[in-house]
Structure 1
Amino acid sequence: MDAARGDGEPGTGRPPHAGEWPRQSLLGGLAPHARAQLLALGVQVRYPADRVLMREADATDFVLVLLDGVVKVTGRTHDNRDALLAVRMGGDLVGEFAALDGGTRSATVTACGPVVARSATRTQFLACLRGDPHIAQGLNASVVAKLRTATASRIDFTGCDVATRLARVLHQIAVRYGEPDGPGAVIRWPITQPELAALAGAAEPSVHKALRRLRESGVLSTGYRVIRIDDLAELHRIAFA
């Protein structure tokens, strides 16, 4: 099925976990009336795990408002490898760059597990932005946050060792997407160690060693499709001391 349509259905039901999106996400940060407009935009779609939702260099221009699930954003490197650029979860928006400037897709977006979203055409999306300044302001803040994160990552890659970069990546994910759990947080999304290495800009063996040290020191523990940050304060100290 075409990625623009997904497994589409009219969006008349209550979205999963409505009102429980992270505060830092687009949906979580909007006022209720503005959030309701985004939740009514387009149609509701569902995607299975591993479905490519958007493909780098394609000329599609629809946007997806993620309601539930996790997607990964990847780009093709000069040596024909897939580099993990970011992860997005329920509450986030993907595809807005092509919708805003009419250009081709800058990256590939793939479902890491089942995903539920609102799919809107470029025309619908731009009309929504023109019609509500609160949504436009929220989108601007979301785009700036993404650019700030990308800039910080570039600086980290040149100025920090692998352990520090990995700690910063894990801390950012835990704070933005993790479920609070006592002094720590639980990250429930299936990222592989090669993908984690790509996010940290490091070789996989180096990330293996850094993860082992974090486990041995009691900072985190790993399980099937789960990373549990047991001591978020200590992870912060390692990442930013």
Structure 2
Amino acid sequence: MEARIVDLASPARRFAHGQALVRQGQVPDCLFLVRAGVVRLAAALPSGHEVVVGMLGSGDVFGECALLGDPSPVEARAAGPVQVEALPLTALQAVLERNPGTATELLRLLASRLHRTTGALEEALAQDVPTRLCRTLCELAGRHGVRDGRGVRLALPITQEDLGRMIGASRETVNRTLATLMARNLIRTEGRRYVIPDVDALARASDREATKNA
């Protein structure tokens, strides 16, 4: 996010675990910038099920639908203690009018978020659980992974329930699938974090599962 936009941010507000920052269907009057903690984005389906479509960390923004005056397609909720700053819509619009390059950056952000949301919903409705879980873990590694000598460590504390909501599966099913992946040395846990020794190997496992079940 460009400095001229970040400079518009209000002082950080704190939210406790489980607090809703933006509700699905609400029209936000600002963008939000995550300063610390994790914000979970989730969409409620007509069936009543909930699908987690994103886990945001420090430096990520959400509430972009405010730029269009549209209701939010997802709910943003604190996954643990969170600090966020608000970017007022009126001031933001003035910056965008003066700086077309910044407007283009935000359009890319909107398109990227829409692509990820659509992809998450499609994954929740298609493919088998092992394929969906492997692909989700690979995506999380790409967005929130920290590489060291032992592999890629997910910086976000993600629970089995979170993973289940991201792929449309029960926690019990996720638990069994993770156990299988651990037995194959494709993933391991360190405290509340997942570590992927070889992301490419996990991606290949995902492709094999998808081919096997095609």
TM-score by length of 1: 0.77
Number of equivalences: 207
Q: Which runs of 5+ in 2 are unaligned?
A: 209-214
- Counterpart amino acid of residue 73 in structure 1: L
* 1:52 has 2:20 as partner: yes
Judged with a 3 Å threshold, the aligned counterparts in structure 2 of structure 1 residues 61 and 214 are, in CA distance, closer, same or farther, namely: same
Counterpart residue number, 2:37: 69
Q: Distance in 1 between matches of 2:14 and 2:111?
A: 28
* 1:172 has 2:114 as partner: no
- Contact map agreement 2:27 2:72 (CA 8 A) in 1: yes
- Contact map agreement 1:173 1:187 (CA 8 A) in 2: yes
Q: Distance in 1 between matches of 2:123 and 2:26?
A: 30
Judged with a 3 Å threshold, the aligned counterparts in structure 2 of structure 1 residues 143 and 183 are, in CA distance, closer, same or farther, namely: farther
Matched residue SS, 1:44: coil
Q: Report the aligned-residue RMSD.
A: 2.1
Deviates more, 1:143-152 or 1:159-168: 143-152
Counterpart residue number, 1:145: 112
Q: Which runs of 5+ in 1 are unaligned?
A: 1-26, 28-34
| Identity in percent | 28
Judged with a 3 Å threshold, the aligned counterparts in structure 2 of structure 1 residues 156 and 120 are, in CA distance, closer, same or farther, namely: closer
CA shift for structure 1 position 82 = 3.9
- Contact map agreement 1:187 1:228 (CA 8 A) in 2: yes
CA shift for structure 1 position 157 = 4.1
Correspondences of 1:86-101 after superposition (within 5 Å): 86-97=54-65, 99-101=66-68
- Contact map agreement 1:188 1:225 (CA 8 A) in 2: no
Judged with a 3 Å threshold, the aligned counterparts in structure 2 of structure 1 residues 236 and 80 are, in CA distance, closer, same or farther, namely: closer
CA shift for structure 1 position 116 = 3.0
- Counterpart amino acid of residue 142 in structure 1: L
Q: Distance in 2 between matches of 1:168 and 1:154?
A: 13
Q: Distance in 1 between matches of 2:143 and 2:207?
A: 17
Counterpart residue number, 1:18: none
Correspondences of 1:35-50 after superposition (within 5 Å): 35-50=2-17
Correspondences of 1:208-219 after superposition (within 5 Å): 208-219=175-186
TM-score by length of 2: 0.85
Judged with a 3 Å threshold, the aligned counterparts in structure 2 of structure 1 residues 96 and 206 are, in CA distance, closer, same or farther, namely: same
- Counterpart amino acid of residue 59 in structure 2: G
Identify which of 202, 207, 213 aligns with 2:169: 202
CA shift for structure 1 position 41 = 1.2
